[in-house]
A and B are shown apart, each in its own frame.
Chain A
Amino acid sequence: MAEPPGSDTRWERPPLITPGYTVATVTNKISAVVLRKTPRWWYAGFAVSFALLLVLFYAVGYLFVRGIGIWGVNQPVGWGWAIVNFVWWIGIGHAGTLISAVLLLLGQQWRTSINRFAEAMTLFAVACAGLYPILHLGRPWLFYWLFPYPNTMGIYPQWRSPLVWDVFAVSTYALTSLMFWYVGLIPDLAALRDKSSGRVRRIAYGLLAMGWRGSAKHWHNYETAYLLLAGIATPLVVSVHTVVSFDFASGIVPGWHSTIFPPYFVAGAIYSGFAMVMTLTIPLRALFRLEDFITMRHLDNMAKVMLATGLIVVYGYAVEIFMGWYSGNEYERFMIVNRMTGPYRWAFWSLMVCNGVVPQLLWLRRVRRSVPMLFVIALVVNVGMWLERFVIVVTSLHRDYLPSSWGDYHPTRWDVATFVGSIGLFLSLLFLFIRFLPMISISEIRMLLPEAEVGKAGEAGKGKER
């Protein structure tokens, strides 16, 4: 690109971190969030989240007693909200891995302010997602039958089933995300160990920090490990939602049996994940006064990623509709027409508005610079992505080949309670995380400071913008 005229400030990128910070003040500012007295709003927020978590306990307890008949699932719609919520949550998780791994490999330094937080979001979203398939099993206490272990029944899982692939993909994803997150936390845990005054905290952080002392030789192995983990997590994140899409695409149900599913699911996952990161970051940066680290430029970049992945998703919708017509298959064609005009048309058209129309506002710079607008659009996309999974799961199943096996699906109050409860689980974990662990990576932010630069003058150091 040609050099823009110097007088035009539109082309100047604002700095990633508001200037004026040093290694010491960055440490103080971020660790103060954890070490200072608990703010009052935290108690209020945690109380609400925990109340919702109790709703989950109640709903799951009742499910254990009565079985999944309390949900709205039945023939022909055997995959109701449980699977909708599973795909929704796991999709949300994908943005965390994308931000921490893919953007690291691509040298996008703006990721540094949001990666820790986004990774935590990934873990909690995967925890919520993991609940659903297990609860949906019918006999959830036998979930370990999903794993291959020598057993008295003398049988093994069916390796050719995408549902078994899913078990491996999701559990690998959960473990790898946890390790990636923890490795990133170690130097910050050491900083908290050295800064905190209470004995309990010092011991707790000290144990978690594993005796990290910042030795140059340790940093060398550490950085290698972190980079390798990023390289490993990148194909993993693509594989996870691909395998999730196989759960659908391998079936012969019209509306599921489609080769566009893997890429379109992965793009949708990133889309919804960025929307969730945005939904959570906007209030948190205001509450903790972290606008100096999570700047408008970060929000602007996230909005652009949302716009791009949103367009891929819309392309996916277009291909689905086109293939419905172009395949010449009457069931496929009926499926598309039924989605648009059948009993669930409200879901289809709301989805189009939420995911297709509203995010187009992000083309406007004015919208991308407006925090309230971004927040509202992010919420709308969250809703839209939930509706997308609802449309895929329910409209495909409720009208398949034989009209004699058609039926309708109505969620019950227990479906709602389980979903609301899982949001409670997610928020409770998130509140605990922001209270006890640094939500921004201190050691990585330090590397972005001008102070961190060494070497000959004129040579671009690590703190320089790429």
Chain B
Amino acid sequence: MRLYGLMVELSSPQELLDAVHAVKAEGYRDVDAYTPFPIEEVCEALGCPASRLPVIVFFGGLVGGLSGYALQAYTAVFDYPLNVGGRPLHSWPSFIPITFETTILGAALSAVLGMFILNKLPMPYHPVFNAPRFALASRERYFLAIQATDPKFDREATRAFLASLGAHEVTDVPA
């Protein structure tokens, strides 16, 4: 059986945090924790890099706003100029509300799509779902997994190390 990694179940956020610290201190790199709600401290301990999402959202909003304005300016000035009582064709103040709305739309779309892309979702199948009690990760339990790709990963040694962290048994996660 090819192995995705080894997983240990923990019963409280504090236990999980301590376990993450221990795993990191041991020098493991390909580690992830699974929790029923976000725990900032765990992410910090795992060494999550700063999210790239704010940059994506900024450019999403920028593109949305610029294209909203460009659409109005182009159609009102060049493509379909409509002379209403000699008023200027490029009447920019009246283009602002729609520019504002398209900025918001661009930013919101890029926030949601960006989150999905960065998290590589949707991903209906993932090896961690093979772990027997993993359904509890969305409910009340906290899981820590070390992947087989980790350079320090050794089936027996890692298993023994993980067993020392939590009260529950360490399970193999088949790939």
Contacts and interface: CB of A to CB of B under 8 A. Distances in A.
Interface of A: 22-24, 27, 148, 154-156, 158-160, 162, 164-165, 168-169, 172, 175-176, 179-180, 182-183, 187, 190-191, 193-195, 206-207, 210-225, 228-229, 232-233, 235-236, 239, 243, 246, 443-444, 446-447, 451-455, 462
Nearest to A182: B112
Interface in B58-80: 61, 68, 71-72, 75-76, 79-80
Contacts of A446: 36-37
B35 A214 contact: yes
B100 to A, nearest CB: 6
B3 interface: no
A21 to B, nearest CB: 11
Interface of B, helix, strand, loop or mixed by DSSP: helix
Interface in B78-119: 79-80, 82, 84, 91, 94-95, 97-98, 100-102, 104-105, 107-109, 111-112, 114-116, 118-119
Q: Across chains A and B, which 4 residue pairs bring their CB atoms closest together, nearest first? A: A210-B122, A225-B115, A24-B140, A219-B38
B27 to A, nearest CB: 19
Among A211, A220, A446, the most chain B Cβ lie within 10 Å of the Cβ of A220
Contacts of B72: 159
A221 B104 contact: no
Nearest to B73: A159
Contact of B137 (A155, A162, A213): A213
A214 B94 CA distance: 45
Interface of B: 12-14, 17, 32-43, 46, 48, 51, 53-54, 57, 61, 68, 71-72, 75-76, 79-80, 82, 84, 91, 94-95, 97-98, 100-102, 104-105, 107-109, 111-112, 114-116, 118-119, 121-126, 128-129, 134-140
A233 B79 CA distance: 33
A219 B108 contact: no
A211 B126 contact: yes
B134 to A, nearest CB: 8
A229 B108 contact: yes
Given A211-B125, A216-B39, A236-B104, A156 B79 contact: yes
Given A159-B76, A443-B36, 4 more contacts: A159-B94, A172-B105, A210-B122, A223-B38
A224 to B, nearest CB: 4
Contacts of A182: 112
28 contacts: A154-B80, A156-B75, A168-B98, A169-B101, A172-B105, A176-B105, A179-B108, A179-B111, A187-B36, A191-B138, A195-B135, A210-B124, A213-B126, A216-B46, A216-B48, A217-B46, A217-B48, A217-B119, A218-B121, A221-B51, A221-B115, A222-B119, A225-B115, A228-B111, A232-B104, A235-B104, A443-B38, A462-B40
Nearest to A444: B37
A231 to B, nearest CB: 9
B13 to A, nearest CB: 4
A455 B84 CA distance: 66
A100 to B, nearest CB: 13
Residue with the greatest number of chain B CB neighbours at <10 A, chosen from A159, A211, A447 = A159
